[in-house]
Amino acid sequence: MQATATVLVYSDDAGTREQVRLATGRRPAQDAPLVEFVECATPAAVLRELDRGGIDVCVLDGEAVPMGGMGMCRQIKDEVFDCPPVLLLIGRPQDAWLATWSRADAAVTLPVDPVEFAGALASLLRRKALIAQ
């Protein structure tokens, strides 16, 4: 497995981005790589970072303004070649069907539960590592 993974975190709310960083720590699981974060507060910044390349997983806030993470996810799945896996932060469990519509690879609810979030992120990083082999 690679030594370091780059995780893009999109939210207009600095507190949500902080919840993601704190829940992840240095690595989300013992068998996962160390994580470096790229934080984005706007949809344009997300697209710019994805165009730049090197993103292993995207964490998108479904409650972000002006464009929610669900719409952002659907757009990047359509427009970004070899789009990284997406972990969607949703407002309530009943929104899981919207995460499916957006083509997210996984979804967890807000506020971020550290154990649930770290498990979901580690799973996506492991899957990405297997595909890369």
Total of domains in the chain: 1
**pLDDT digits over 56-84, tens only?**
999 999 999 999 999 999 999 999 999 99
Predicted local distance difference test score (pLDDT) of residue 133: 58
Residue span of the structural domain in which 73 resides: 4-132
| Rounded mean pLDDT, 42-62 | 97
Of the pLDDT bands very low, low, confident and very high (cuts 50, 70, 90), residue 119 is very high
Predicted local distance difference test score (pLDDT) of residue 2: 65
Whole-angstrom distance, CA of residue 124 vs CA of residue 106: 8
pTM recorded for the entire structure? 0.95
Predicted local distance difference test score (pLDDT) of residue 1: 52
Q: What CATH number corresponds to the domain at position 102?
A: 3.40.50.2300
